[in-house]
Amino acid sequence: MRVLKAFLGAAAFAGVGLMFLGTASARSPQQGEDGAKLKIFFVDVEGGQSTLFVTPAGESLLIDTGWQGREGRDADRIVAMAKQAGLKKIDYVLITHYHEDHVGGVPQLVARIPVGTFIDHGPNREMDGGVTQSGYEAYQAVLAKGGAKRILARPGDVLPIHGMKVTVISADGEFIKQPLPGGGAANQFCHASETRPADATENSRSLGVEITFGKLKLLDLGDLTWDKEMQLMCPANPLGKMDILIVSHHGWYQSSSPALVDAIHPRVAVMDNGETKGGSTPTLKTIAASPGLETLWQLHYSVEGGPENNTQAQYIANPAGTDAGYYLELSGAKDGGFDVFNARTNATKKYAAPAR
Ligand SMILES: [Zn+2]
């Protein structure tokens, strides 16, 4: 310890202390002073969703489980992430909806790590006779075994997770009736959003949540589609402003209306796109032009977006042509400040707490 202190002192004296500290923080972002932070791991499931939240007390919430099959690739990646975060079980697994890139990984996940409670929006509404139905049935079979509890979520519910507040915004096509604190004002961005036909798939049923940790606010609406965004956000914005947006629907153009993206005014957006899934050019442009946006982070380079529409290379976890499964990790503080760590580059970008 004394040697380390002496070295730090010498390094600071030499004017390179900051560099040294930056490297140390990148190597082990969940240790030391980060103990009081909310950790959010954006697992790369190649164009599906899987986002792991771990509170300072070690309580955990996983939003979606990635794809089935692929020899358990996605479940393996989630479990590796959970172990790195010090977890032996996942307390809550929230299923946004029953498409295969969200619920598909459930059977393989429960075969690898215990799950305390599943949370969902109720029955599958998309009888496609294919992967959506079979994915839902496989999930029901896991629930029927009785190893985990299950919560049916309704808009306005606050989920029983300690250490952060998880409020249900949307579920089964319905929305919160009362605005959140800071919400309720007229939405000036509705006029810039075209009207689109109703989406009849499970996407529109997505179980969406707001997560707050002290002053830090994050929004994840699953794959909620454009028409539902307009219903939720117009004419008044019930959500107010958010610090972090998990971009809906992997950045596909069927979601991310200006009425949603611009109105919530995110500082950072994180897109769980694959190389050829999501990451649509119009959506990349909408997010880049969003007022107040400091950085778009992407799990993958988007082939469709090309060099002119993808975010800068250092904010992409997995560059073109790679499938190495690099993750992004966000560490949030209660004062509203946060860091984002890119596991590929080992670099961390800091976002200071806003003056408010
Ligand atoms: Zn999806």
Give tens-digit pLDDT for 272-292.
999 999 999 999 999 999 999
Q: Rounded to the nearest whole angstrom, what is the distance from the C-alpha of residue 356 to the centroid of ligand 1?
A: 35
Q: Rounded to the nearest whole angstrom, what is the distance from the C-alpha of residue 354 to the centroid of ligand 1?
A: 32
Q: Rounded to the nearest whole angstrom, what is the distance from the C-alpha of residue 275 to the centroid of ligand 1?
A: 14
Q: How far apart are CA 37 and CA 164, in angstroms?
A: 10
Q: Rounded to the nearest whole angstrom, what is the distance from the C-alpha of residue 249 to the centroid of ligand 1?
A: 5
Q: Rounded to the nearest whole angstrom, what is the distance from the C-alpha of residue 4 to the centroid of ligand 1?
A: 47
Q: How far apart are CA 205 and CA 221, in angstroms?
A: 10
Torsion-angle region of 275 (φ positive above 0: left; ψ -120 to 50: alpha; else: beta):
alpha
Q: Rounded to the nearest whole angstrom, what is the distance from the C-alpha of residue 202 to the centroid of ligand 1?
A: 10
Torsion angle, alpha carbons of 163, 206, 275, 69, to 10: 90
Q: What is the mean pLDDT of the chain?
A: 91
Q: Rounded to the nearest whole angstrom, what is the distance from the C-alpha of residue 179 to the centroid of ligand 1?
A: 26
Give pLDDT, residue 323. 85
Q: How far apart are CA 118 and CA 162, in angstroms?
A: 16
Q: Rounded to the nearest whole angstrom, what is the distance from the C-alpha of residue 252 to the centroid of ligand 1?
A: 9
Give pLDDT, residue 322. 84
Give pLDDT, residue 19. 34
Give tens-digit pLDDT for 63-106.
999 999 999 999 999 999 999 999 999 999 999 999 999 999 99
Q: Rounded to the nearest whole angstrom, what is the distance from the C-alpha of residue 101 to the centroid of ligand 1?
A: 5
Q: Rounded to the nearest whole angstrom, what is the distance from the C-alpha of residue 278 to the centroid of ligand 1?
A: 9
pTM of the model: 0.90
User: Residue 139 to residues 116, 136, 148: CA-CA distances in angstroms?
Assistant: 14, 5, 11
On whether the CB atoms of residues 101 and 249 are closer than 8 A, the answer is no
Q: Rounded to the nearest whole angstrom, what is the distance from the C-alpha of residue 108 to the centroid of ligand 1?
A: 18
Q: Rounded to the nearest whole angstrom, what is the distance from the C-alpha of residue 24 to the centroid of ligand 1?
A: 35
Architecture of domain 36-351: 4-Layer Sandwich (3.60)
Please say if the pLDDT value at position 267 is more than 50: yes
CB-based neighbours (< 5 A) of ligand 1, an ion: 101, 223
